[in-house]
Amino acid sequence: MLSKSVIGVLALQGAVDPHRLHIEAAGAEFRAVKTPAQFDEVDAFILPGGESTTMLKLIERFDLWDVLAAQFAAKPVWGVCAGVILMAQTVLSPAQRSFDLLPITVERNGYGRQLESCHVEIEGYKVSFIRAPVIKDAAESVHVRAVHKGDPVWLESGQYMLTTFHPEMSLDFPSPMHRAFLARVEKFYAKKAA
Ligand code: GLN
């Protein structure tokens, strides 16, 4: 792409603003988005961490389900933590509605109460797990990019990327995950133009 990629962070609930400096440092434009007109203007989405049940309620209350499903089918999407839960095919404990963007099964709060939150290094970068989901199952078509304690925590498939952890809380800009997502967005549009 000739111009800067515009990355829309879905701004209904959750950790939206911490993505801004990572996105800008990676050379793209940050937008907090919550209306269909704003969705139309972005090249890709980040579904942030937060509470997936609250996000679902707001999506339904504002009648955004169909418009978001159409956007997600057409553009790159990165789900962070709660965002992973929204993107999964199947959600457990408890089951809830999801956009079914890729063939994975996730268990909400799968690390249990003992490990509600912790910091670890993924590819040498400090990230946070905060009441994270556990990926219980992923089809072979889904590429596992990083594993933590035996569980896949960073996955990629086509135009989609997932991290069950938060890289955006670290203040070393940009995170390798933001960089990787931007590269994915650029590749997606280069392929489309070819
Ligand atoms: N536990 C939250 C959920 O189920 C996700 C937590 C997070 O996004 N940090 O939606």
56 within ligand 1 shell (Cβ under 6 A): no
Q: What is the pLDDT of residues 11-55, one digit of tens each?
A: 999 999 999 999 999 999 999 999 999 999 999 999 999 999 999
Q: Are strands 77-80 and 160-163 parallel, antiparallel or unpaired?
A: parallel
Residue 49 Cβ < 6 Å to ligand 1: yes
Give the pLDDT band (50/70/90) at residue 116.
confident
Q: What counts of helices (H) and strands (E) characterise the chain?
A: 6, 12
Mean pLDDT estimate for the chain? 96
- Measured between alpha carbons, how far is 41 from 100 in angstroms, rounded to an integer? 23
Centre of ligand 1 from the C-alpha of residue 42, in Å: 24
From 19, 22, 81, 156, the catalytic residue: 81
Atom 2, ligand 1: residue with shortest CA distance: 51
Domain-wise residue ranges, the chain: 6-193
For the entire predicted model, the pTM comes to 0.97
Catalytic residue check, 166: yes
pLDDT value at position 2?
Answer: 55
Are 60 and 94 spatial neighbours (Cβ–Cβ below 8 Å)? no
What is the reported pLDDT for 23? 98
- Among 19, 22, 156, 166, the one annotated catalytic: 166
Residues 111 and 80 sit within 8 Å (Cβ to Cβ)? no
CATH level 2 (architecture), domain 6-193: 3-Layer(aba) Sandwich (3.40)
118 labelled catalytic: no
Residue from 57, 84, 131 to probe ligand 1 pocket by mutation (most atoms less than 8 Å from CB): 131
Q: Residue 164 C-alpha to ligand 1 middle, in angstroms? A: 9
- Amino acid 115: pLDDT: 65
- Predicted confidence (pLDDT) at residue 114 exceeds the cutoff of 70: no
